[in-house]
């Protein structure tokens, strides 16, 4: 099979600025647009470092709900008046606060953004309202098979005491106090643990404003919660059924801990994953959805953390077909281990993956978003070029070898959630 690599990708060579306090700003400039994307990326602000369950998520959610100068409503009115909006995210390792706004309003908005990032109030009133809303959502989620499957899968993979495997309870909301948010925020939302990703209509005036409002040492090293050093145990076969008598469908999760994104086999493994369950034409979709009709959708995913990865197959299926669907998942894995993929199918997967990479780098906002993994994993700026080259060069023999090496059915965790009298 011919494997030519002839792609020219947009440059991930960000323009780098260093503010007076050492805060690094990485900019992808595009003066043909009016919009600006300003992201504050906190590399250790994730769930793994919290000392109280829900504190990382609550701190991230409430960071924009009032400062010591303005109430939550006043801040919301400022944001709305100038047509800006905020995205807040938190995962197991990192967190982010991202602002979108028009360049012409930068002088009016940057001071407001400073209050959000550097001076959140975490008022008890806002916390109480937030917790009341979360309690209601928690009770609703306890009746959703997919939610129970997601949380319990990670507990099975990592263990209930591991930061990646902890599941919050209703009682944990009662234990969460304002001081937990403040302590977490002070420890991880600081200038020395932050990178700024800037894209869109970036000009010198904006850089000067950022230095004026974020370039001081007044938000550096303010907390005393230490970053955790995590230990990951070996995989072991576990099978679990969670009974939800009211369920109208069953949720399946199958997977295990696997290699990290830094491993030499990881890029090739993503091709195997895509072929198995990573796109609409995958083996799992063709068999379990199109042929058998057990589900509307099934997928396999590789999650990447700094020091480990997770391979996960997930589907919501008809309860009466739960075991049949699980059996067919293992059938497709064994086929990849025993039979070589044909050239046409492998090329189709490669074309799909290469198209995804190219689309993901189309535009300054997209470049900034895809620059974040380079910071997190300490990759070189040519990472995506290397990735495309690997995709073009992976062979059907590589796919079989990887399936035999990494898709060990005897080490896979198997979880099903639904009406136990039907799904067993």
pLDDT in tens, 176-210: 999 999 999 999 999 999 999 999 999 999 999 99
* The 3-state secondary structure of 164-222, one letter per residue: CCCCCCHHHHHHCCHHHHHHHHHHHCCHHHEEEEEEECCCHHHHHHHHHHHCCCCCCCC
- The pLDDT score that the predictor gives to residue 5 is 57
Angstrom distances, CA of residue 249 to CA of 3, 15, 120, 298: 43, 50, 42, 14
Q: Which CATH class is domain 15-214?
A: alpha beta
Classify residue 40 by burial, with Cβ atoms within 10 Å: 0-12, 13-18, 19+.
Answer: buried
- Tokens 């700003």 correspond to 25
- Tokens 């039979």 correspond to 339
- The pLDDT score that the predictor gives to residue 231 is 83
- The pLDDT score that the predictor gives to residue 1 is 47
CA atoms within 13 A on the CB side of 112: 28
Write out pLDDT tens, residues 354-392. 999 999 999 999 999 999 999 999 999 999 999 999 999
DSSP 8-state symbol, 285: I
- Separation between Cα atoms, residue 269 and residue 333, nearest integer Å: 13
- The pLDDT score that the predictor gives to residue 3 is 55
- The pLDDT score that the predictor gives to residue 233 is 86
Domain ranges within the chain, ordered by starting residue: 15-214, 238-423
CA atoms within 13 A on the CB side of 101: 24
Q: Which CATH class is domain 238-423?
A: alpha beta
- The pLDDT score that the predictor gives to residue 4 is 59
Low-confidence ranges of the chain (pLDDT < 50): 1-2
Which tokens sit at 38?
């300003």
Contact yes or no for 277/254 (Cβ under 8 A)? no
Q: What pairs with residue 257 in β-bridges?
A: 310
Which tokens sit at 174?
């009662």
Angstrom distances, CA of residue 106 to CA of 12, 35, 156: 25, 10, 47
DSSP 8-state symbol, 258: E
Q: Considering Cα of 88, then 89, then 94, then 98, what sign does the dihedral take?
A: negative
Which tokens sit at 399?
């796919």
Computed on alpha carbons and rounded to an integer, the radius of gyration of the chain in Å comes to: 23
- The pLDDT score that the predictor gives to residue 51 is 92
């Amino acid at each position: 099979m011919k494997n030519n690599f002839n792609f020219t990708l947009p440059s991930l060579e960000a323009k780098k600025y260093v503010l007076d306090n050492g805060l690094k700003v990485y900019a992808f400039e595009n003066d043909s647009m009016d919009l600006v994307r300003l992201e504050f990326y906190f590399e250790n602000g994730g769930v793994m470092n919290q000392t109280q369950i829900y504190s990382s998520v609550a701190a991230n959610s409430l960071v924009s709900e009032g400062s010591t100068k303005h109430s939550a409503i006043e801040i919301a009115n400022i944001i709305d008046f100038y047509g800006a909006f905020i995205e807040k995210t938190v995962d197991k390792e990192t967190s982010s606060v991202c602002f979108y706004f028009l360049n012409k309003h930068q002088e009016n908005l940057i001071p407001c953004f400073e209050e959000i990032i550097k001076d959140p109030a975490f008022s008890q009133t806002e916390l109480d309202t937030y917790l009341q809303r979360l309690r209601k959502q928690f009770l609703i989620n306890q009746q959703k098979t997919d939610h129970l499957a997601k949380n319990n899968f990670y507990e099975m993979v990592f263990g209930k005491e591991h930061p990646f495997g902890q599941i919050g309870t209703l009682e944990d909301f009662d234990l969460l106090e304002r001081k937990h948010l403040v302590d977490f925020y002070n420890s991880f939302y600081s200038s020395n643990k932050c990178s700024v990703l800037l894209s869109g209509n970036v000009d010198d005036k904006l850089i000067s404003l950022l230095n004026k409002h974020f370039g001081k040492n007044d938000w550096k090293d303010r907390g005393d919660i230490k970053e955790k050093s995590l230990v990951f145990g070996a995989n072991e076969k576990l099978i679990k059924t969670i009974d939800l008598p009211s369920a109208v469908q069953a949720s399946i999760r199958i997977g295990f801990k696997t290699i990290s994104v830094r491993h030499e086999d990881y890029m090739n493994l993503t091709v195997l994953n895509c072929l198995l369950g990573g796109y609409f034409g995958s083996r799992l979709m063709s068999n379990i959805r199109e042929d058998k009709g057990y589900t509307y959708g099934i997928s396999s995913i590789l999650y990447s953390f700094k020091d480990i990865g997770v391979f996960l197959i997930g589907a919501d299926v008809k309860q009466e077909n739960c075991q049949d669907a699980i059996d067919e998942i293992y059938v497709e894995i064994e086929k990849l281990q025993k039979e070589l993929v044909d050239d046409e199918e492998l090329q189709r997967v490669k074309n799909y993956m290469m198209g995804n990479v190219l689309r993901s780098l189309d535009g300054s906002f997209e470049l900034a978003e895809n620059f974040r993994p380079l910071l997190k994993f300490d990759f070189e700026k040519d990472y995506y070029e290397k990735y495309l080259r690997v995709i073009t060069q992976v062979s059907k023999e590589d796919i079989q070898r990887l399936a035999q090496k990494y898709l060990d059915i005897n080490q896979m965790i198997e979880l099903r959630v639904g009406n136990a009298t039907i799904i067993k």
